[in-house]
Structure 1
Amino acid sequence: MKSNLKLKTMEDIERELSIIIACEKKQKGDVSLTQVYDFLAESIELSIQRIGSTNKRNTINKLLGKYKFAKLISKGNYTKANQIPGFPPKDLGDSESALLRLKTSLTAFKLHSGPFAEHSVFGELDKKQWERIHGILSMFLFGYIQLYGDEKLRFAKEREQKKEKTFTDKKHNHHPQKKKDDRDTKPSGHNNRKWKNKKKTHHKGNKNQGGGAK
């Protein structure tokens, strides 16, 4: 389900998940909390566990996969459930186990350095690209969870305060450099002329200035 969230990293997903856990919530539509947690966890698990299982993709499919990936990243979100293969999954009815599975998969992904599995649609992806896919998928899935009550308001208020603080800090840290006075950087023309016109002193006598007779 389309959401206004912006999740780009695993830390963003974990932060939003902590808000979901703390708030009162209920499902929107016909997708349960368990299905949301399980599907996202499975997607993350497959990206790091299904190593070596590559699909035979011809050149056209590879190019098409890259095009679809670029289009999704540019758009920033899924708009329909049928864009996501295998969604929604079977409802196993155990949201606590599904949540634990999701937390474990998030930690495992952050610790995993590679290699990574091929995506069934987009083809070969590196860690950063997989992270963007998981972020976009999380935004879509979390849209099926409706938060309400005082906790939701508190988190929303804290988020706005954090944004304002960041903006204020950036504003205070930006100090335009003052233009230096020309007098501090180069001598004035008048003084320069005086230096040029200054007469050199001459000493009579021999080269070692002993003052001997001619």
Structure 2
Amino acid sequence: MSLKTKLSLAAICLMASGVVAAATPVGNGTLTINGTISASTCTVAPSKTSLTVPNLVPANIDAAAHNAELYKDTVSFDFKDCGAAGNTIVMKLTRDVSAPDGAGGSGALKKAGFSYSNGADSQYSPLYYQLTPSSTANFFMLDGSGNNIDISAVQDKGAFSIPVDLVVKTAVSTGVDTGNYVGNFTAAPTWSVEYP
């Protein structure tokens, strides 16, 4: 029988302000990662629990090319005391919001997690986020072909890390309306780890 362990990365929250004041830093976002794991044979923890996403202001979003990377950071998931894991583990990520078709088309708001104050503009999102290596699919496979992660080369199964990039990008075809900019960006992906 396999042992399944689930990690919740609850409340990943990026907050951005659209009010520009002289000599005042605005538009910085904070990305908070909360993870839990319950297992008798292994513990897992993210290497970072708070990241800062700078300069998410309308001018910077508009000045960037479509589908441009505005922010990127890497979080490693550090496994400890996993001597019984064997040579393979299965790791999946489910995003609570998925990147929209074209990453900015109709319906992008709810899928991409970005909000406007004007309801008339609520169909469109100027930003979206990814966790890579991945596609824009709701599930992604860390090795590109399946959920399995080969850890046979890891000499010490009791301590190893798996890195994941968190990326914020501009939409493919949607800009930001500064008059309706709120910059409320939230996400709560859920991890699942299985030891075959």
TM-score by length of 2: 0.27
User: Is the helix fraction higher in 1 or 2?
Assistant: 1
User: Is the strand fraction higher in 1 or 2?
Assistant: 2
Which fold has the larger relative contact order, with Cα–Cα distance below 8 Å and residues 6 or more apart in sequence? 1
